[in-house]
């Protein structure tokens, strides 16, 4: 991921017209060695990007893209990452970074938070800090070729491919055939059941809303149709005897999505961290929200206790709210700030009825049954305690979720007329119904259609989406 960009002057031609910059700027024709160099020929500009590992990239996606699985401990030559922790959005012992030197003839441009594949010539250079250390070297890549990618989501088809038949001809125990249901519907049903059983104390209703939330994306910014932000309320605190305080839901989502980041909110984190990048002394320091598009953030509030929020903390909370509500973040520079667009899915796990920090589009209380000690313990399991489905089924789950995120659906004219007439009838029955209700129900119907990998919204899906939204309001009212 591109964390920061700059330019630098380099010696493109050395005395005797020897090539600088590995000769990347000169593809075929070499310069005449007999002609004296001019200053404009001797020196040139090249792009300089600080490139870091994709924050929150999940092992399965990293493996499928690179054929590599992250090792448990970084090699010793990663010591430079300890010297510049502010250049990485999230602390991680596996963090690594590299200077990408981009020459004028290299195809393509790079922008902040973009993900790129780079091919080039690897070298090392001294890390330039306030206290230079000759023993600490940073990898530098002289780029020959680069290609932007979208978190690797481009290879997930919509509609999804059929589940591969097992070699022994036996049906999967997880994907049971249901008469009259499509294969995506079978996969969706199995996904909801698995997610509920392993991460949500058996609450399939909450699991269905989680699925709708993680497949949502920006449709248009004007008028704003943005990703569906979701708060799961009444989540019990981790039991004292639990071996982990990380919700099982985060571990489960990492098995489904290309990139998931955990933001454990607390007063110290809010007061002392950076939510947005800040430029200091001509260096862009990273922030928690400097993430590639289509990343998922799970915000937890179990660590929030009484305390004083400082001015910096208030700015951080404001930045978090802005990111969730408008999908933009402000990069802070010495004399101004610049707005950058982003696209991040937010899921908030709150102990109360709603989050004190974030106001989301949808709030659903977790089932009361999850408050029992036995159920609460299942909400905080380690990764090796999760019962995984067969590998082919897990792959189908990923195809369903990631394919739905890229899919598009339409609405036939007759269905649109039906929806409009239905809304008029609703207004006549209940004057409190507003256009916001219609927009939300349209969004739910669209996401429901995408989650089934259907090409268009039908009357049946519209009614099903309305029923889902009505049940949500009923559960919230009885909380």
User: What tens digit of pLDDT does each residue of 428-445 get?
Assistant: 999 999 999 999 999 999
Average pLDDT over residues 358-368: 95
Average pLDDT over residues 105-113: 79
Give the distance, in angstroms, between the CA of residue 386 and the centroid of all CA atoms in the same chain.
22
Helix (H, G, I), strand (E, B) or coil at 51: strand
pLDDT score for 74: 47
**CATH ID of 183-403, from 3.40.630.10, 3.90.1170.50, 3.40.50.300, 3.60.21.70:** 3.40.50.300
Give 321-338 pLDDT, tens digit per residue.
999 999 999 999 988 999
Query: Which residues have a Cβ under 8 Å from the Cβ of 136 and sit 6 or more positions away?
Result: 79, 80, 83, 126, 127
Note whether 448 and 460 are within 8 A (CB).
no
Please say whether the dihedral angle defined by the alpha carbons of residues 167, 172, 176 and 181, taken in this order, is positive or negative: negative
Residue 20 vs residue 146, higher pLDDT = 146
Q: Residue 72's pLDDT band (boundaries 50, 70, 90)? A: very low
Q: Does 70 score more than 60 pLDDT?
A: no
pLDDT score for 130: 57
Mean pLDDT check: name the lowest of 87-101, 218-232, 408-422: 87-101
Whole-prediction pTM: 0.91
Identify which of 215, 214, 175, 166 has the alpha carbon closest to the alpha carbon of residue 193.
175
Q: Residue 73's pLDDT band (boundaries 50, 70, 90)? A: very low
* Domain layout of the chain by residue ranges: 2-149, 183-403, 410-478
What phi and psi values does residue 155 have, to the nearest 5 degrees?
A: -95, 15
């Amino acid at each position: 991921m591109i964390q920061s960009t700059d330019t630098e002057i380099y010696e493109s031609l050395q005395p005797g017209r020897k090539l600088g910059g590995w000769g990347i700027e000169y593809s075929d024709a070499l310069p005449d060695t007999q002609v004296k160099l001019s200053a404009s020929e001797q020196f040139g500009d090249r792009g300089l990007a600080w490139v870091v590992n994709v924050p929150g990239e999940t092992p399965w996606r990293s493996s499928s893209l690179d054929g590599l699985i992250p090792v448990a401990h970084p090699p010793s030559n990663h010591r430079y990452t300890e010297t510049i922790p502010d250049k990485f959005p999230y602390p991680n012992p596996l963090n690594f970074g590299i200077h990408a030197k981009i020459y004028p003839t290299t195809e393509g441009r790079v922008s902040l938070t973009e993900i790129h594949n780079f091919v080039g010539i690897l070298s090392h250079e001294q890390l330039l800090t306030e206290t230079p250390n000759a023993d600490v070297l940073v990898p530098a890549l002289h780029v020959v070729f680069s290609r932007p990618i979208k978190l690797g989501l481009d290879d997930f088809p919509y509609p999804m491919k059929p589940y591969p038949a097992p070699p022994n001809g036996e049906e999967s125990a997880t994907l049971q055939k249901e008469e009259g249901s499509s294969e995506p519907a079978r996969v969706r049903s199995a996904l909801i059941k698995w997610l509920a059983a392993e991460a949500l104390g058996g609450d399939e209703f909450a699991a269905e809303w989680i699925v709708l939330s993680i497949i949502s994306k920006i449709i248009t910014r004007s008028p704003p149709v943005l990703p569906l932000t979701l708060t799961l309320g009444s989540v019990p605190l981790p039991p004292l005897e639990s071996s982990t305080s990380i919700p099982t839901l985060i571990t489960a989502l990492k098995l489904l999505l290309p990139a998931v980041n955990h933001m454990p909110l607390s007063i110290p984190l809010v007061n002392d961290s950076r939510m947005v990048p800040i430029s200091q002394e001509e260096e862009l320091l990273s922030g928690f929200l400097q993430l590639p598009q289509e990343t998922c953030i799970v915000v937890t509030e179990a660590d929030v206790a009484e305390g004083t929020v400082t001015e910096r903390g208030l700015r951080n909370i404001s930045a978090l709210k802005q990111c969730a509500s408008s999908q933009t973040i402000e990069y802070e520079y010495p004399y101004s700030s610049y707005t950058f667009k982003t696209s991040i899915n937010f899921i908030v796990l709150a102990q109360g009825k709603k989050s004190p920090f974030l106001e989301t589009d949808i709030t659903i209380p977790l089932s009361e049954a999850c408050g029992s000690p036995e159920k609460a313990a299942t909400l905080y399991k380690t990764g090796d305690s999760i019962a995984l489905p067969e590998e082919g089924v897990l792959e189908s789950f990923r195809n369903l979720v990631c394919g739905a995120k890229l899919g598009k659906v339409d609405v036939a004219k007759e269905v649109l007329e039906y929806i409009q007439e239905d809304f008029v009838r609703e207004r006549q029955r209940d004057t409190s119904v507003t256009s916001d209700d219609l927009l939300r129900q349209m969004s739910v119907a669209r996401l429901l259609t995408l989650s089934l990998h259907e090409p268009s919204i039908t009357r049946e899906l519209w009614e099903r989406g309305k029923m889902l939204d009505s049940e949500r309001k009923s559960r919230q009212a009885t909380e």
